[in-house]
Every structure is written in structure tokens, then in C-alpha cells.
């Protein structure tokens, strides 16, 4: 699939050797970024928090296989070295290179391998679908598939790639996203748009509840086309971010099902988002989805611990597969149980048999809404993470 290479001014390449990989993306323009809120953050995150303030980038270099976290001044120097090597390849200065890492925490970088792969990727830069596929695959860790998204509008394109599968929770997860547009947008406006889009997408994904040390989302505007209507641009940016977020959730470690939680009728969007995230992060909800068990009591219980004030008696819980819909509980009335409503319970279980399960939580407390995404929790998740470094 072609996405970022649809954007005028973007070239990409990727190199992979075993678990070690390098993605190199060349694109000059105004830039914005958001980062993890984990107190323990990667050295490239520390570096880029300083440098992104300038609001311009000429390229991004990403390594897989080593997160470069808890590595101190040596790790910081290695992140700077990555920027220097990429800048030399792209003919710019290190201060205009974005740096990101993913992999194991608490390991020093193998800089000889990194430097060699950067040079190799530099000779492969191009603007076609295979280029961005190579870049996306180069930075996969436990991901099973690469992830792309694009939104084509009249006058501009927004597109992105991402990686992420485990250690995923709001603020964000072990996810790296690189988004591009050929629209002309000043850096402050781009930063505001990206923060809003991230809050409505990547910060509403929960795979396992662990907030990573390395999360980052970069957005570069190459300015090859005219300035867009910012409302239209915001919609396109959120479309891309939500698509990428859903792909991360669907590819959660060991996952068999995507979970979507839609909360409506809240007093504020923040309230709705808090409930949606809490429900989708609940291990009890996740395991119930894996077992195709319509145990809706777990959903209302999770909603009740989200820190949001609402009246449970006025709430409605439903499950849908996008076509059929079963109301499980409606404003204090039980609608699906093994004694009085076994047929509804059986139908609800059948709706959970597919690859996507959607829960609706209607609060009847206001007009605000929000959606969050996650996945089921399976034995495979334990297998993957029980032996991650060995």
C-alpha cells in the first residue's frame, strides 16, 4: 500500500538484518511531534524534545532492536550520532533530523551496525510503495504486519506509517508514528493539530496497559501544495491517526479480536474518553472478549471506576458487530442474562465471534462522545512477553 510516498517531497527506505533495522525517511518542511509521558523516557525522546522546538525537519531516522533507554550519556551520544550519520546521508545538519528507537530497554546501542545500515538506507531512498513498506518493516518488533494510512483531499494529502503491538496504553504506547502532508502549514498550527489528533487516536489505544518509554508521533508538512482549510486538514489528520491507531490495536500481541468501545451521552469528551479507555483496558473485559463471553457486568463495572460521575441507572450497554446489535442492559433493566433473557445472551455471544467486537456505552448525561480501541487478551500475549529478551 502506498501512503507516505503519495505525499509530494517524501522519500523512504528501510534495511533489516534479523532483529536490527533502520528506517530512513527524507522530507523537508515544518514539523511537530508529541512524545511519551513516561518519566523514564528514551534518549532519542530526550534529544527530540529539545530539537523539535525549532519546528523544522529534513528527515527522520529510526532504529529497531534497541530502545536506547536507561543508557545515560552514552545513549544520548548515540542518539546524537544517529542524527549526525543521517544528516550526512541527506545533506543537512543533525539538528534537522528526527530520531526514534524501539526495542529492548537497558541495552547499549550497536553503533557500528546502526551506522552501516543508515548508509545503506541512504542509497535506497525512493518514492514508491515498496520504499515505505521497507521502512515500515524495518522498524517492526513484535508487529505481525506493517501499518499504513492515507487521506487524500482536494489540494493535499495526509499519510502515515506506524509500528506498535505491545506495551500499548494511553500517553501513548510502544508505538512510533511518522505522518506527512504536502500542505503548507506553519509549525505552531501543525503542533496544535497533531496534539488534538493524537488525543483522539493514539492516546485512546490500549493493548496491555503499559505506557512505553519511547512513544513518539512526528508530523512533517513539506509545503509542496497550498495552505489548506485547517478544519478540513484536522479531519484528514484525525482520519489517518485513527486508522493507524486501530491497526495497532488489531495487531496487539497475541490478539485475535479488535475491541472498539463507543461512549456517548457524556457531559464532556474527556469524560467519554476516560470511560472508553478504562473499559477497553480492563483485563476482565479483554479476556471475556477472547472467550466470546458477553459478560456485560464487567463493562459497567469498568466504566464505574473511570473517575467519571454518571448515574448507572440511566446507562445503556450494547454489543454490535457493525450490522447486528444486542442491548445487554438498558437504564437499570437487565436485557441479557442466563435466566430471564437467554436468547439475547446467546445472540450477544454470537456477535463476539468475529474479528471485531464493538461495545456501546450510552450514559444519558450529556451530548459528548469518544471512542477507544484495544484487543483481547490471550495466552499468546503471555508467551510473547514472558520470553521477550531471551
Which of the residues are catalytic?
Answer: 174
Q: What is the Cα–Cα distance from 282 to 208, expressed in whole angstroms?
A: 9
H or E, element range at 60? strand 56-66
Helices 297-304 & 269-281 angle (0-180, nearest 10)? 130
Q: Does residue 221 contact residue 190 with C-beta atoms inside 8 Å?
A: yes
Q: What is d(CA 87, CA 59) in angstroms, rounded to the nearest whole number?
A: 8
Per DSSP bridges, beta strands 325-330 and 333-334 are antiparallel
Cβ atoms within 10 Å, residue 307:
9
Q: Is the dihedral of CA 109, 113, 115, 121 positive or negative?
A: negative
String of b and e for 331-350 (b: at least 16 CB within 10 Å)?
Answer: eeeebbeeeebeebbebbbe
Q: Quick count: other Cβ atoms within 10 Å of Cβ 195?
A: 15
Q: Which residue in this structure is represented by grid cell 472478549?
A: 289
SS3 313: helix
Residues 245, 203: contact at Cβ < 8 Å? no
**Reduced to 3 states, what is the DSSP secondary structure of residue 286?**
helix
Q: End-to-end alpha-carbon separation of the chain, Å?
A: 33
β-strand pairing of 356-362 with 176-181: unpaired
Query: How many Cβ atoms from other residues are within 10 Å of residue 129's Cβ?
Result: 15
DSSP string, 187-251: HHHHHHHHHHHHHTTGGGEESSSPPPSS-EEEEEE---SPPPPHHHHHHHHHHHHHHHHHHHHHT
CA distance 210 to 387: 17
Amino acid at each position: 500500500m502506498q501512503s507516505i510516498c503519495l505525499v509530494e517531497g517524501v522519500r523512504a527506505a528501510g534495511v533489516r538484518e534479523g532483529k536490527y533495522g533502520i528506517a530512513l525517511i527524507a522530507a523537508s518542511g515544518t514539523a511537530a511531534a508529541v512524545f511519551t509521558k513516561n518519566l523514564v523516557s528514551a534518549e532519542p525522546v530526550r534529544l527530540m524534545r529539545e530539537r523539535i522546538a525549532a519546528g523544522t525537519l529534513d528527515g527522520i531516522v529510526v532504529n529497531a532492536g534497541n530502545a536506547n533507554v536507561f543508557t545515560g550519556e552514552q545513549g544520548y551520544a548515540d542518539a546524537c550520532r544517529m542524527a549526525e550519520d543521517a544528516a550526512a546521508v541527506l545533506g543537512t545538519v543533525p539538528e534537522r533530523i528526527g530520531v526514534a528507537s524501539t526495542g529492548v530497554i537497558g541495552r547499549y546501542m550497536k553503533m557500528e551496525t546502526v551506522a552501516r545500515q543508515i548508509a545503506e538506507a541512504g542509497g535506497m531512498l525512493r518514492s514508491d510503495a515498496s520504499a515505505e513498506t521497507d521502512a515500515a518493516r524495518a522498524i517492526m518488533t513484535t508487529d505481525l504486519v506493517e501499518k499504513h494510512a492515507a487521506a487524500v483531499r482536494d489540494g493535499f494529502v495526509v499519510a502515515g506509517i506506524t509500528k506498535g503491538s505491545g506495551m500499548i496504553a494511553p500517553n501513548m504506547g510502544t508505538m512510533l508514528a511518522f505522518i506527512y502532508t504536502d500542505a503548507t502549514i506553519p509549525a505552531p498550527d501543525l503542533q496544535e493539530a497533531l496534539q488534538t489528533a493524537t488525543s483522539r487516536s493514539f492516546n485512546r489505544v490500549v493493548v496491555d496497559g503499559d505506557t512505553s518509554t519511547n512513544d513518539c508521533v512526528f508530523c512533517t508538512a513539506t509545503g509542496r501544495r497550498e495552505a489548506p482549510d485547517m478544519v478540513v486538514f484536522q479531519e484528514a489528520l484525525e482520519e489517518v491517526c485513527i486508522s493507524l491507531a486501530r491497526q495497532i490495536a488489531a495487531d496487539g500481541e497475541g490478539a485475535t479480536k479488535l475491541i472498539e468501545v463507543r461512549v456517548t451521552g457524556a457531559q464532556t469528551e474527556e469524560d467519554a474518553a476516560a470511560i472508553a479507555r478504562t473499559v477497553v483496558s480492563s483485563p476482565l473485559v479483554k479476556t471475556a472478549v477472547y472467550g466470546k463471553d458477553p459478560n456485560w457486568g464487567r463493562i459497567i463495572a469498568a466504566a464505574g471506576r473511570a473517575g467519571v460521575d454518571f448515574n448507572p441507572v440511566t446507562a445503556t450497554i450494547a454489543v454490535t458487530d457493525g450490522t447486528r446489535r444486542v442491548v445487554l442492559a438498558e437504564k437499570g433493566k437487565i436485557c441479557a442474562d442466563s435466566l430471564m433473557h437467554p436468547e439475547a445472551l446467546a445472540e450477544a455471544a454470537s456477535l463476539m465471534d468475529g474479528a471485531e467486537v464493538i461495545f456501546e456505552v450510552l450514559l444519558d448525561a450529556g451530548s459528548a462522545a469518544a471512542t477507544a480501541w484495544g484487543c483481547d487478551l490471550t495466552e499468546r500475549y503471555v508467551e510473547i512477553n514472558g520470553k521477550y529478551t531471551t
